A = this chain, B = another copy of it.
Amino acid sequence: MNESTAVFALSALAHEARLKVFRTLVGSGPTGMTPSALSAALDIPATTLSFHLKELVHADLVTVERQGRNLHYRPALAHMNALLGYLTDHCCQGQACIPSVRKRRATC
């Protein structure tokens, strides 16, 4: 994870619909969720949802896999974890902002 990757991932998460989608996917089981299910759950039109899912996939925060007629979207937890690690490592540069938890690195 470098600065531009981080900016890209942050941009992907910096939207109400996309953060909701990501959180919903995290809450879904290992099979992930289909666009139809997400569309119904979050009340987002299919076209709009498709646009946002593409953004998330493009930022590597979500993966897709086709299973028959359905697509299954899943959160890319390792990438999210890398983002959290990057932010943690660069928000204090070795100094602790909260002494009691100093040097603990962010993970999800």
- List chain B residues, Cβ under 8 A from A27: 93
> Contact string, A21-33, partner B, CB cutoff 8 A, digits 1/0?
0110011000000
Q: Are B106 and A107 in contact (CB under 8 A)?
A: yes
Q: Are A3 and B26 in contact (CB under 8 A)?
A: no
Interface stretch of the complex, out of A36-44, A46-54, A82-90: A82-90
A13: CB under 8 A from chain B?
yes
Q: Are A26 and B81 in contact (CB under 8 A)?
A: no
- List chain B residues, Cβ under 8 A from A92: 26, 77, 108
In the assembled complex, the Cα of A108 lies from the Cα of B107 at a distance in Å of 11
- List chain B residues, Cβ under 8 A from A69: none
